[in-house]
Amino acid sequence: MANLGPAYYAPYPVATYDGLLTPPEGKALLLTDIVDEEVAMREVARVMLTSENATIFPGPQVLYAWSDEAKKKATLIKEMSEVLNAKMIPMYDYRPKYPKIDPEVEINPNHPNLTIWHNNIKAAIFIGVHCHYANVALKIVRAETDCYTVGMCALSGHEDAMATIRDQHSEDLARFIEIAKEVKQELGK
Amino acid sequence: MSIKDMTKEKNWSGQKLVSTDYLLFEAPREKHFMTGSEVTKEAIKRCTVDASVSYPITPQSEAAHLIGELWAEGYVGMYFRGENEFGVMSEVAGCAMAGARTVTTTSGPGTLRAMENFPMWSGTRIPVQLILMARGINSPLTIQPDNLEVTFMLETGCMIWYAENVQELFDMIIAGFTVAEMPDVHVPIVTVVDGFFVSHTRESVMLPADDIALMPYDPYRAPLPPIDSEMPPGRFLRDPFVMKSNYISYATHASWQWEVRSAVDRSIPYARHFLKGLVHTSGDQDAEVVFVACGTASHQAKEANRELTKLGIKSKVVKLRTIRPFPHAELLEATKSAKYIFVPEFNIVGWLDKEVTQSLYGKSEAKIIGRPRVAGGMSMPVEAILHEVLEHINEEKGA
């Protein structure tokens, strides 16, 4: 499971149904494989740099959190978007939007597929989204779109993303940016 | 003493804060002689518990009452009595949503009265611990050992662990908080024992000193921010009418339900570590006669194993420590030598037999026999187990 692409009329089961769990500490999950963090970072950078409309979805933990770490992360995420040539569409909060979401300006965990469909997003990084809402959104996105999803998580990671890197704090994001710069140069982007 | 007395080294009652590994595996232990209810008190005493709510009615185990004593002694932060079981389980949810490490106990029909709350607990991702001292459900009312209520709990989205004896109950309560509070798990844990057989029976138990305790719960590592009344699931707790409206998609509800079950699955590596395996096997590893059981039934199966050894018949006992998550891989591995799998149970429906049969369907050629099965407070004499085994392995001769 956790392969790229829509599951159409059998959108579930989810990744754990096939035995995929969050990666152990110090490791990352790339599709169905547990790999070294740097291997995952390189692949994430490559996918983001070579996919149409690559987008970063920053969540409340980096948008509003009142801590120095959140400030550092927010600054780094902005830099990350520039290095990856990626757009940013925020997940402002988790409230369902009525009467409907504006998919050009936000993504929402209750119907994340609408934003991805509308903007034809083929690769996306979820970062700063609380784990439960990230997981709810990632399951829907994987089931209903062909977007390559990446979970960059400060805690344990997200097995329903195509790539997940866990325990990502500001120093790890800085390392990812450096790796992304190298990959960008290799790709001539 | 109050939460303001908490430091990085000590909790509000002055106990030194230690890791779960230290508390479970490294701290020196001394032998005591206690009932399941008493050992529940001892476990809670070492868990830096913020809140407990109870509805102690007669006939109850003493566990809820003893947790109240812990509050009076300054070990539990908050303790109060609910109006009924539904109220208790709702109030427990409120405590946990507010960021408190919370515990309660129940059994039998009270479990069913509170039933709506359990899937609400898992859906709101609260790491509450419910200690379920099973005692069956029927009319006329039974207060006897029987674990029928567990079948109702199986699909609530809660983790379900099953302790065989007083020692396992103590250790599981401590491990239960730890695993339930992992950020990628963060669902309720139901720690089950067979009422009376364990809750009221005094056994030897090894306990660490009571001047050490678990690190406090950190609600800032929860997978949800504090729930407000506009955000699901809080919105739907407040306003159920919107559940079927266009506020959120059906896909969200489906994904949410899967996420709760995924969270239970994510507990597997943690449970393997803290419980030292999801299953425990004893007896002859290559035996064709295998008992799969949990709780007191596994104890009786071990007695049967000893008697069968005297008769020259090899057998093996596979005790399941976790029911949710169900240990599919471990069960398959542990039963690979089996020609006959017996599932002895203390309930009339054979819920564990159904679980085992479903898990092994198409994967094992063993004959699965959901016997012996007793209910309503009956004991399960070893002779009853031997009778079933001999009937099946000597088909022509009988027992």
pLDDT tens per residue across span B25-64: 999 999 999 999 999 999 999 999 999 999 877 657 889 9
- Is A143–B251 a contact, with Cβ atoms under 8 angstroms apart? yes
What is the pLDDT averaged over residues B67-82? 94
Residues of chain B with CATH 3.40.50.920: 282-393
Task: Choose the mutation target among A136, A141, A144, A160 for the interface with B, i.e. most B CBs under 10 Å.
Answer: A136
Is A105 touching B (CB cutoff 8 A)?
A: no
CATH class of the B282-393 domain in this structure: alpha beta
The predicted pLDDT at position A12 comes to 63
Contacts of B222 in chain A (CB under 8 A): 130
CA distance A35 to chain B (A): 18
Residue A2's pLDDT band (cuts 50, 70, 90): very low
Distance CA B266, CA A159 (A): 10
Is A189 touching B (CB cutoff 8 A)?
A: no
Structural contact between residues A126 and A150, judged by C-beta atoms closer than 8 angstroms: yes
Closest partner residue to B252 (CB to CB) among A16, A110, A156 is: A110
* Fold designation for A15-187: Rossmann fold (3.40.50)
Residue A5's pLDDT band (cuts 50, 70, 90): low
Closest partner residue to A22 (CB to CB) among B249, B261, B266 is: B266
Strands (E), chain B: 16-18, 29-34, 51-54, 78-81, 102-106, 129-134, 159-162, 189-194, 203-208, 212-214, 279-283, 289-293, 315-320, 322-324, 340-342, 367-369
Residue percentage of chain B with pLDDT more than 70: 94
**Superfamily for domain range B11-221:** Thiamin diphosphate (ThDP)-binding fold, Pyr/PP domains (3.40.50.970)
- Is B255–A139 a contact, with Cβ atoms under 8 angstroms apart? yes
The predicted pLDDT at position A96 comes to 80
The predicted pLDDT at position B249 comes to 74
The single residue listed with the structure tokens 């959901």 is B370
Give CA separation, B271 vs A89, B188, B216, B310, in Å.
Answer: 38, 14, 19, 35
The answer to which of A41-45, B204-208, B378-382 has the lowest mean pLDDT is B378-382
Contacts of B224 in chain A (CB under 8 A): 130, 132-133
Q: Is the pTM of this model over 0.90?
A: yes
- Is B247–A110 a contact, with Cβ atoms under 8 angstroms apart? yes
Distance CA A114, CA A103 (A): 6
pLDDT one-digit tens code per residue, B331-384: 999 999 999 999 999 999 999 999 999 999 999 999 999 999 999 888 999 999
Distance CA A64, CA B313 (A): 67
pLDDT one-digit tens code per residue, B299-311: 999 999 999 999 9
Q: Is residue A7 pLDDT above 90, yes or no?
A: no
CA distance A81 to chain B (A): 25
- Mean pLDDT (chain A, rounded): 91
CA distance B44 to chain A (A): 27
Residue A114 CA, chain-centre distance (Å), reads 16
pLDDT one-digit tens code per residue, B92-108: 999 999 999 999 999 88
pLDDT one-digit tens code per residue, B114-144: 999 999 999 999 999 999 999 888 888 877 8
The predicted pLDDT at position A13 comes to 66
Secondary structure (3-state) at B157? coil
Please state whether B24 falls in left (phi above 0), alpha (psi between -120 and 50) or beta. alpha
- Is A24–B269 a contact, with Cβ atoms under 8 angstroms apart? yes
How big is chain B by its Cα radius of gyration, in Å?
Answer: 21
Residues of chain B with CATH 3.40.50.970: 11-221
Q: What is the DSSP letter of B321?
A: S
Is A140 touching B (CB cutoff 8 A)?
A: yes
